[in-house]
Amino acid sequence: MAQAAYEEVKKLGGEIVAISNDSVDSLKEGAESSSIKYTLLSDPKAVTIRIYHLEHKGLNIRDPEATGARPAVFFLNADGTLSSAYQPEDMRYHLSADEIIAGVKDAK
Report mean pLDDT in 10-residue bins for the chain, 108 residues: 88 90 92 92 89 77 72 89 86 86 91
Cα separation, 41 vs 49, in Å, equals: 11
Q: Identify the pLDDT of residue 61.
A: 63
The pLDDT, as a whole number, for residue 25 is 95
**What's the Cα-to-Cα distance from 85 to each of 23, 25, 63, rounded to whole Å?**
25, 28, 30
pTM of the model: 0.78
pLDDT score at 59: 64
Q: What is the pLDDT of residue 60?
A: 62
Predicted local confidence at residue 99, as pLDDT: 92
In the chain, the domains with their CATH numbers are 2-106 (3.40.30.10)
